[in-house]
Amino acid sequence: MKWEDLRKSRNIKDRRGQRGSRNSMPNFGGGSNRSGGMGSSLLWLLLGSGGKSKWILIAVVAFMLIGGGGSGLFDLGFNTDNNVSQTQRQEDVLQNDSLAADTTDAEYEFLSAVLGSTEDFWAQEFERYGLEYRYPTLVVFSGSVETEGCGFGTTQVGPFYCPADETLYIDLQFYRDLTNQYDAPGDFAMAYVVAHEVGHHVQNLLGTMDEFNSARQRMSESQANALTVRLELQADYFSGVWARYVEGEGILERGDIQEAMQAAHAVGDDTLQEEAYGRVMPDSFTHGTSQQRQEWFMRGFESGTIEGGDTFNTSID
C-alpha cells in the first residue's frame, strides 16, 4: 500500500502512555444524538424509487432501529472467566500497560494517512446523496484508555469505535498481533481494520445508534446477536467500498486485497472461537463467520458504492 502518498489526517490523537480510569468499563452501545436525520435518507436509498413489499419495508426499518455498532473488531462471544472480578481484570490491564510495545512514528503516520483517505472518500460519497460527512477522531493508546462516552477500553478489546464521542480507539500492539498472533501480516490488513471501524462511524452518522440501544433491550440475546452480525458485515462492506476507492487512486499494491481478506478471515467469530476454545457457538456470533466477513468485504470492493451494503434484506451467507 502506497500510504506515504496519502493525505494525512489531523483528526488523530496520541494518548500512548496515559493510563485509563478504573471507574468504568466500555459501554459500546451508547449513541450519538447528532444524527441529523440522515437515517431517513438511507432508508429511501435502500428502498429505491420503486414499490417494495411490506415485509421488505419492515426489515429495513428493523435495520434502522438496531443501528451501528460501537464495538470492537471481534468478540469471542462467550466468557470463561466469570469468576474473575471486573476490578481484577482492570488491575491486570493497568499493570500490563508498561508491557505494551512502543508505537513507531511511521506507524502513527500510517494511521493518519489511512484515516485521511477514509475522510476524503466518505465526504465524497456522502455528498453524492446530499449528506454531510462529519470526520471521526482516531485515538492511539497503549494498554488502556478512558473514552469520552463509552467508558474504559483496553488492548484486549481490540480496535473499537465509540459512537458517543465519534472516535476510533486503536492500540497499535494490535498491528503486531495481526502478524504474530492472527497470521494476517501487511499494512493493508491494518488498513482494513481502520476502515471497518470507520464503517461503524458511517452507521452512526446515518442515525442508527440511539435506536439500537432501545431496540436491543426488547430482543433475546440470540436475536440481538443475529442482527449485530448483519451490522458488522455492513461495516466490512463499507471497508471494501473504501478499498475500491484507494485502488482507483493508485494506492493499492499487489497483494493488498489478499492481506485484507486474510485479516477478515482471522477475525471471524468461528475462527476466533475455534482457536480459543476448540468449539464454536453460532448463537453467540456477533461479527460473522470468516467466510461472511471476507464475502462482504469483497462485495463492497466490487461494488464501490454504498447502495450494495444492505445486509438486512439479503442473505448474508
Average pLDDT, the chain: 77
In a domain, 314, yes or no: no
- Asked if the structure places residue 316 within a domain, the reply is no
Residue 82 lies in a domain: yes
Specify the pLDDT at position 37: 34
* Euclidean distance between CA atoms 258 and 142, whole angstroms: 28
Element of type H or E holding 257: helix 256-266
Residue 78: per-residue pLDDT: 34
The answer to the question of residue 285 being in a domain is yes
Rounded to whole angstroms, the Cα distance separating 285 from 300 reads 22
The answer to whether position 252 is within a domain reads yes
Between 257 and 93, the higher pLDDT residue: 257
Question: Positive or negative, the Cα torsion across 198, 204, 205, 206?
Answer: positive
Instruction: Identify the pLDDT of residue 96.
Output: 42
Q: Looking at 21-25, 185-189, 234-238, 264-268, which range is the least confident one?
A: 21-25
Q: Which residues pair with 144 in a beta bridge?
A: 154
CB 114 within 8 A of CB 195: yes
Q: What angle do helix axes 54-66 and 209-216 make, rounded to 10 degrees?
A: 100
Cβ burial of 173 (10 Å; 0-12, 13-18, 19+) is middle
Residue of 94, 189, 183, 186 whose CA lies nearest to 143: 94
N- to C-terminal Cα separation, the chain: 30
Outline where 69-220 has alpha helix (H). 86-95, 105-128, 173-180, 187-205, 209-216
Task: Count structural domains, the chain.
Answer: 1
Mean pLDDT of 133-153: 92
Does the pLDDT value for residue 30 go beyond 90?
Answer: no
Q: Are 129 and 41 in contact (CB under 8 A)?
A: yes
For CA atoms 272, 215, 292, 299, the dihedral sign is negative
Task: Please tell me the predicted confidence (pLDDT) of residue 296.
Answer: 96
Q: Give a yes or no: residue 317 inside a domain.
A: no
Q: Does residue 215 lie in a domain region?
A: yes
Q: How confident is the model at residue 155 (pLDDT cuts 50, 70, 90)?
A: confident
Q: In the structure grid, which three cell numbers stand for residue 116, read together?
A: 485521511
Query: Does some domain include residue 187?
Result: yes
Higher-confidence position of 73 and 183: 183
Identify the residue whose cell numbers are 470492493. 301
Cα–Cα distance, 293 to 300 (Å, whole number): 11
**Does 262 have pLDDT greater than 70?**
yes
pLDDT of amino acid 268:
94
- Which three-class secondary structure state does DSSP give residue 53? coil
Once rounded to an integer, what is the mean pLDDT over residues 141-168? 90
Residue 153 belongs to what domain range? 3-309
Residue 57: strand, helix, or coil: helix
Q: Centre a 10 Å sphere on the Cβ of residue 71 and count the other Cβ atoms it contains.
A: 26
